[in-house]
Amino acid sequence: MDPYGSVAFNLGKASEFVDHPGAGHYYGADYDAGVVNHHHSGGRHEYLIAGCAIKCDVVFSLPKWKTHKKAGVTASLKNLVGVNADKNWLPHHTEGAPVSGGDEAPSPGLKHRTERKVAGAIRGLSHRVPVVGPLVHQLARSVGKPIFGDTESTIRSGNWFGNDTIWRMCLDLNKIVFYGNADGSLRDPQQKTRKRHFVLVDGIIAGQGRGPLNPDPVAAGVLLFGVHPPSVDAACAYLMGFDPDKIPILSRAFQCRSFALSAHGWRDIVMLSNERAWNRPLVDIPSNDTFHFEPHFGWKGHIEQDSAPRLSGEQPVEAAQQP
């Protein structure tokens, strides 16, 4: 428990969810989706944040360098999910397929529609009789796996490149940490009083493939440091062999609708590194001098740089990155 308590924020029109068609269909971290939809409806976009993250003067973020099934990659921007005080206030995906305004899975095929109906019935039962919830969900997973497919090989729950929800939630959290006050208000972005945020990304052993929970290890031998989270994350993605423009949490971080997280674009990033090939503007680093991580299977073929080959030999290096 946070000794500084928690602080509730309502971003309202400052949220990246403004004009998103998913209202009423968001799914959070629990079978009771009513909670997350209550906090993101009627113009409300509410988050409950750990008090220490708001009342401190400086934030230090120590993310692991790896792929992510919902966000594409995870580094400092996604890492701020850890400052929330109630994860069920956080929209992780929007139920339904894209043709109906959702991003749960690419196609509304028969199997997907049947799975959604079964899952909805199970969630309803768990909500009405909470004491049986965990048991019912465990039983449903074991029975449903051979029918609907294993999550480790089947796209569901927003685990693909079409997730249009999670990047919005992550950037909202970053806005709150950067601009939030202890009374739940936001600082004037024109006053340039944004909270300082230092990032050290641990890529000594990085992760590719089925991240974030079951990645394959990559002995990259890399440390990346910076004081500008969007730039650090864009550098991470680029050095993984990915295109930041194809990953919404990165591309959108440089073009927020309000309470900007960056005053420059990712192509303006300049690297400072003891690895000679990396000691230059990020966009000038050739593909042959980057890694080529395997994306999560739901993102494969959609975020790689055009000329990116498979992961080859790794050279232990350290990199220092600045905005």
Query: What is the number of domains present in the chain?
Result: 2
Q: Using CB atoms within 10 A of its CB, is residue 179 exposed (0-12), middle (13-18) or buried (19+)?
A: buried
Give the residue numbers spanning the domain of 143: 110-148
Residue 1 covered by a domain: no
**Tens-of-pLDDT digits for all 323 residues of the chain?**
899 999 999 999 999 999 999 999 999 988 789 999 999 999 999 999 999 999 999 999 999 999 999 999 999 999 999 999 999 999 999 999 999 999 999 987 656 566 666 666 666 656 666 666 666 556 656 655 555 556 677 888 999 999 999 999 999 999 999 999 999 999 998 877 789 999 999 999 999 999 999 999 999 999 999 999 999 999 999 999 999 999 999 999 999 999 999 999 999 999 999 999 999 999 999 999 999 999 999 999 999 998 444 343 333 333 333 33
| Same domain membership, residue 188 and residue 98 | yes
Same domain? For 75 and 141 the reply is no
- Identify the pLDDT of residue 107: 82
Answer yes or no: do 235 and 144 share one domain: no
In this structure, are 210 and 236 located in the same domain?
A: yes
Residue 228's contacts (CB-CB under 8 Å, 6 or more residues apart) are 197, 262, 322, 323
3-state secondary structure of 272: strand
Query: 259 and 131, same structural domain?
Result: no
Are 135 and 37 part of one and the same domain? no
177 with 305, same domain: the answer is yes
Are 95 and 114 in the same domain?
no
Q: What is the pTM of this model?
A: 0.87
240 and 97 part of one domain: yes
Could you tell me if residue 191 is inside a domain? yes
Q: In this structure, are 52 and 30 located in the same domain?
A: yes
140 and 42 in a common domain: no
Residue 63 forms part of a structural domain: yes
Is residue 98 one of the residues assigned to a domain?
yes
What does the pLDDT read at residue 308? 42
Are 93 and 193 in a shared domain?
yes
Distance between CA atoms of 236 and 302, rounded to whole angstroms?
17
Which pLDDT value is given to residue 31?
76
Q: Is 38 left (phi over 0), alpha (psi -120 to 50) or beta?
A: alpha
Residue with tokens 């309202």: 12
